[in-house]
Structure 1
Amino acid sequence: MRTSALTGDFLLGLVPIALVIALWQGLVSFGVAPAVLLPPPGLVFARLLQQLTTSTFHREIAATLIRLFGGFSIAVVLGVSIGIAAAANPAFNAVVRPIVRVLAPLPKVALYPALLLLVGFGHESKILLVTADALFPILLSTYYGASTVEQKLIWSAMAAGTPRREILFKVILPAAMPSILTGCRIGLVISCIVVFLAEMITSTDGLGHMLVTAARTFQAVDMFVPLITISLLGLILNGLLQAVRSYLLRGFPEA
């Protein structure tokens, strides 16, 4: 029953994608957009399949994934740690809260020139930018999830003889896990956007660099290939994270 529901959801999710591709093809076929600027989807996907057979394209994808996973992993560790600490310690919360309120609305891409000057044009600046952008949704979701854990769960654990140092891992983290994973999904989407943007601004490799290079040489088909690729990577990574979420929350009714 569960498998058929997932299959139905998957097929239903393909409908809007098919409509977008059909609209794309219609714009080209009816001459609304010139093929020189908006190539037909069949040509773009054919070029993508051709690129997937080359080692150069694999290296570009690997460069983007290294930066994405590096920044996202750091954001998860920092966001969960700070969020749990802020929820558990009022004094720490009083210090962190104004900092978060000031920095969370700030467009982190504005910090990118400073990061370039501090750590250079390599992987480090892009990883730090991804971390800065993905950190806050994970931190805020963790704080919300941990601070809304029912006190009676903690009291019950303590009454059952659970040591105080183990309550974090046996009570608070499991209860806050749905909120934490929601923040991680948001952070992952942001990471995909930010790493691509950073590579477009300044990079010598990666999918964003591929797009800028193709645009500068007026190669429209090659310009759409990295766009489709980063979208597919985001779709795959989101699906993997959803599978992890379903596994970790298999005891929760909503999972």
Structure 2
Amino acid sequence: MNGRAITSDLLLGMIPIVLLVALWQALVSFGYAPVTLLPPPGQVFSRMAQQLLSTTFQQEIAATLFRLFAGFSIATVLGVTIGLAAAVNPAVNAVVRPIVRVLAPLPKVALYPALLLLVGFGHQSKILLVTFDALFPILLATYYGASTVEQKLIWSAMAAGTPPREILFKVVLPAAAPSILTGCRIGLVISCIVVFLAEMITSTDGLGHALVTAARTFQAVDMFVPLITISLVGLILNGLLELVRSYLLRGFPEA
């Protein structure tokens, strides 16, 4: 993807955001929403700029990012490993398939009270919740990508003398990379949502906790700042992951 295409995509992507902010401002300006409940965007963005320079708010962001990255990293390692194993080994597939069918549709937030009782109210419960939620999209994408690798690629590698144990890493894994990275993008979005939700339910720090604290004290402006911040965090992380995807898949026509 060349620079002109990237610039065009960025400009097109900004249009819905600009329209949303304009609608927000219109609702406030024409009195459709009280300022005490829906402050004007200029006031929120001004407060956000102040908060970003605050050490306390930076610590809230750091706590959220730590939980997000820890949970997402564990989910990625487990999802890719289990997905590849299930795709190449029928015995593993027979064990994993019913577990995925039962647990994948389950709202993982329902497990959060049990996690709190098991590991406490610290980082661990939130990291585990993020891991459980992000795991299944990555696992399923990996399994699908590895299962649909063209058989002729494997035959060609075997004919070229590639040892069977190396085929997984030299043929199957690279061929499944587009699907795996797509699953990682989905898992990353889910991680942003879940870590914020977990911090809202029970936490003493993090962006979700900052929102709940502001809501309890009726600070509408401070309530919108964490919402916008977590949205920007997700946007930035998604963009970085897209750059990584473009780099890793630079030899693929669809990349």
- TM-score normalised per structure 1: 0.99
Alpha-carbon shift at residue 164 of structure 1 (Å): 1.1
Q: Secondary structure at the match of 2:222?
A: helix
Aligned residue number for residue 231 of structure 2? 231
Q: Secondary structure at the match of 1:161?
A: coil
How big is each residue's C-alpha offset from its partner over 1:102-153, in whole Å with a ceiling of 9 and x where there is no partner? 0000000000000000000000000000000000000000000000001110
Out of 65-74 and 2-11, give the one that drifted further: 2-11
Alpha-carbon shift at residue 165 of structure 1 (Å): 1.1
Alignment length (residue pairs): 255
Q: Distance in 1 between matches of 2:30 and 2:50?
A: 27
Does residue 1:207 correspond to 2:245, yes or no?
no
Does residue 1:74 correspond to 2:74, yes or no?
yes
Q: Distance in 1 between matches of 2:47 and 2:138?
A: 36
After superposition, residues 86-235 of structure 1 pair within 5 angstroms as: 86-235=86-235
Q: Distance in 1 between matches of 2:2 and 2:58?
A: 36
5+ residue gaps, structure 2, are none
How big is each residue's C-alpha offset from its partner over 1:15-48, in whole Å with a ceiling of 9 and x where there is no partner? 0000000000000000000000000000000000
Aligned residue number for residue 249 of structure 1? 249
Q: Distance in 1 between matches of 2:188 and 2:2?
A: 26
Alpha-carbon shift at residue 91 of structure 1 (Å): 1.0
Letter in 1 for 2:114: A
Letter in 1 for 2:17: I
Letter in 2 for 1:54: S
Q: Distance in 1 between matches of 2:241 and 2:102?
A: 29
Aligned residue number for residue 36 of structure 2? 36
Q: Distance in 2 between matches of 1:69 and 1:33?
A: 37
Letter in 2 for 1:40: P
How big is each residue's C-alpha offset from its partner over 1:60-109, in whole Å with a ceiling of 9 and x where there is no partner? 00000000000000000000000000000011101110000000000000
How big is each residue's C-alpha offset from its partner over 1:189-220, in whole Å with a ceiling of 9 and x where there is no partner? 00000000000000000000000000000000
Alpha-carbon shift at residue 2 of structure 1 (Å): 1.6
5+ residue gaps, structure 1, are none
Alpha-carbon shift at residue 169 of structure 1 (Å): 1.0
Letter in 1 for 2:133: D
Alpha-carbon shift at residue 52 of structure 1 (Å): 0.8
Alpha-carbon shift at residue 5 of structure 1 (Å): 1.0
Letter in 2 for 1:4: R
Aligned residue number for residue 62 of structure 2? 62
Letter in 1 for 2:22: A
- TM-score normalised per structure 2: 0.99
Aligned residue number for residue 25 of structure 1? 25
Aligned residue number for residue 48 of structure 1? 48
Q: Distance in 1 between matches of 2:166 and 2:7?
A: 39
Q: Distance in 1 between matches of 2:225 and 2:92?
A: 46
Moved over 2 A (4+): none
